[in-house]
Amino acid sequence: MIGVMALEHAILVSLLEKPGSGYELARRFDRSIGYFWTATHQQIYRVLKRMEQDGWVDVRDVPQQGRPDKKEYSVADLGRAALTSWLHDPIEPESVRHDLAVKIRGAAFDDDPAALTREVERHRQAHRDRLAHYLAGQARDFPESEPGEAAPRAPLDAERELQHVVLRGGIAYERMMIDWLDDVLATLARFGPGR
Amino acid sequence: MIGVMALEHAILVSLLEKPGSGYELARRFDRSIGYFWTATHQQIYRVLKRMEQDGWVDVRDVPQQGRPDKKEYSVADLGRAALTSWLHDPIEPESVRHDLAVKIRGAAFDDDPAALTREVERHRQAHRDRLAHYLAGQARDFPESEPGEAAPRAPLDAERELQHVVLRGGIAYERMMIDWLDDVLATLARFGPGR
DNA sequence: ATGCACATGTAATAAGTTACATGATTCA
DNA sequence: TGAATCATGTAACTTATTACATGTGCAT
């Protein structure tokens, strides 16, 4: 078996970090985990059901005051074994899908290339927003990391260190994207007015 | 309608750059276009058939010597209009899927974190290979760009400039990934031996 | 009463992957 | 004759998206 079905594994990692309900998982997938994996609540509930049937997770009904009851999921032994197995299984270096790159090459055949400039500026702003959000998260959750320093000075526990290095990856990605979109805008400006 | 169904649009762009058969498209999706969009030949033949039915592309039987005949596809007016419409339609800044990031956070719950080191090294090598491939392509197809210079000196035609800026994006992405994977390896080394 | 955050789902559709299948021509 | 490249497809399955659907409790 090759590296497939990663949503299950992302859920397992998230539940190992902290047990929670489908709703809570959906919110995490809009935040920290969502930085490198997206999933809607519909998908999460469906997969969670299957994982429960397969014995990967345990469920516990949690009555709540002031809000609807919830089902709290936690990782069972079988789930942990499945995760370990997946972790030891090599995966293919991911194949990227960049809609925006398709649009940029497509702009050569567009009568109105100014539309692309506006679109690229929108995306650039979105990446700036995301970068600001990541940096705020880093300052809040990893205050020990000095600005300009790639790594914390003293070794911490593995879980936190690994969360931090993933966050640094997100930060590097957003910075790269902003720089590249600047390059795209400069390129568009160079031949745009002369058309 | 929001920005969906981008395979059709990637095919339209590719056919506008140069008409070709499904087989040729599949090979392009393993090369230049494949840098930012992947598709198998099965997918391409299926979508091409639908696009033909919708009048987006024209087909022409091309008898060949020394090899099987092929169907050459080219973009019809309806297809060009569909592309323009999609180009002018804003798309969401893409949601990323990084299996490797899931694995990295998951490694905190793995008995054998050395397995992740090997996996990260494999990925790092794959990104180095891809970077070398991109740089070779740049040297071959855009010799006017000086090393260390972000952009060509004299304005070229839009199609080439846009292809080049997309390639520069691929190069920036691979460089960022290699640097980040170095950071990951350093992080793993810091707490790995002490476990 | 209206809207919002919390909470959990089903159904239909679209998109993507994997396995299977065929056939031509060239070259060793 | 056997492998490699070129060329085109079908079928089954899995995954992801979109639309629809329901209900609690709190605050305004």
pLDDT the model gives residue A34 = 85
For residue B195, pLDDT over 60 is answered with no
Between positions 12 and 41 of A, the ones with CB within 8 A of B are 12-13, 16-17, 34-38
Q: How far lies B1's CA from each of B4, B6, B86, in Å?
A: 8, 13, 10
Give the mean model confidence (pLDDT) for residues B131-160.
77
Rounded distance between C-alpha atoms, residue B77 and residue B55, angstroms? 8
Q: How far is B66 from chain A (nearest CA, A)?
A: 33
pLDDT class for A4, splitting at 50, 70, 90?
Answer: low
CB proximity A181–strand D (7 Å threshold): no
- What does the pLDDT look like over A7-21, one tens digit per residue? 999 999 999 999 999
Residue of B47, B55, B60 whose CA lies nearest to B79 = B55
Residue of B34, B56, B44 whose CA lies nearest to B166 = B34
User: At a CB cut-off of 8 Å and minimum separation 6, what does B60 contact?
Assistant: B71, B72, B73, B74
Give the mean model confidence (pLDDT) for residues B154-181.
91
State, as a whole number of angstroms, the distance between the CA of A6 and the C1' of C16.
15
Rounded distance between C-alpha atoms, residue A163 and residue B111, angstroms? 17
- What does the pLDDT look like over A106-159, one tens digit per residue? 999 999 989 999 999 999 999 999 999 999 999 999 997 666 555 544 445 899
Question: What are the two backbone dihedrals, phi and then psi, of residue B25, each rounded to the nearest 5 degrees?
Answer: -60, -45
**Which amino acid is residue B29, in one-letter code?**
F
pLDDT the model gives residue A92 = 87
Give the mean model confidence (pLDDT) for residues B65-74.
93
Rounded distance between C-alpha atoms, residue A100 and residue A102, angstroms? 5
pLDDT the model gives residue B145 = 66
Is A142 in CB contact (< 8 Å) with chain B?
no
pLDDT the model gives residue B92 = 87
Rounded distance between C-alpha atoms, residue B188 and residue B192, angstroms? 5
**Strand blocks (E) in A31-189:** 57-62, 70-75
**Which amino acid is residue A148, in one-letter code?**
G
pLDDT the model gives residue B63 = 93
Q: What is the DSSP letter of A93?
A: P
Longest dimension (CA), chain B: 67
- What does the pLDDT look like over B10-28, one tens digit per residue? 999 999 999 999 999 999 9
Task: Find the closest chain A residue to B6 by CA distance.
Answer: A99
pLDDT the model gives residue A113 = 86
Neighbours of B117 (CB within 10 A): 16
pLDDT class for A191, splitting at 50, 70, 90?
Answer: confident
Give the mean model confidence (pLDDT) for residues B144-154.
57
Find out whether A29 and A128 touch, Cβ atoms under 8 Å.
Answer: no
Per CB-CB distance under 8 Å, the chain B contacts of A115 are 87-88
pLDDT the model gives residue B34 = 86
Between positions 146 and 175 of B, the ones with CB within 8 A of A are 150-151, 155, 158-159, 161-166, 168-169, 172-173, 175
Rounded distance between C-alpha atoms, residue B164 and residue B188, angstroms? 36
Helix axes B77-88, B6-17, angle to 10 degrees: 120
Is B87 in CB contact (< 8 Å) with chain A?
yes
This model's pTM is above 0.75: yes
For residue B144, pLDDT over 70 is answered with yes
The residue among A93 and A87 whose pLDDT is bigger is A87
Interface test with A, best of B33, B129, B131, B162 (most A CBs within 10 A): B162
Q: Which helix (H) or strand (E) holds B11?
A: helix B6-17
Q: What is the DSSP letter of A73?
A: E
A169:B184 CB<8 A: yes
The pair of structure tokens assigned to A109 is 């055949």
Lowest mean pLDDT of A64-78, A96-110, A151-165, name the range: A151-165
Residue of A109, A24, A40, A107 whose CA lies nearest to A73 = A24
Residue of A38, A41, A20, A33 whose CA lies nearest to A137 = A33
The pair of structure tokens assigned to B56 is 């987006």
Find out whether A192 and A117 touch, Cβ atoms under 8 Å.
Answer: yes
CB proximity B23–strand D (7 Å threshold): yes
pLDDT the model gives residue A2 = 47
- What does the pLDDT look like over B97-130, one tens digit per residue? 899 999 999 999 999 989 999 999 999 999 999 9
Per CB-CB distance under 8 Å, the chain A contacts of B175 are 176
Residue B61's SS3 state is: strand
**Which amino acid is residue B131, in one-letter code?**
L
Find out whether B64 and B57 touch, Cβ atoms under 8 Å.
Answer: no
The residue among B179 and B152 whose pLDDT is bigger is B179
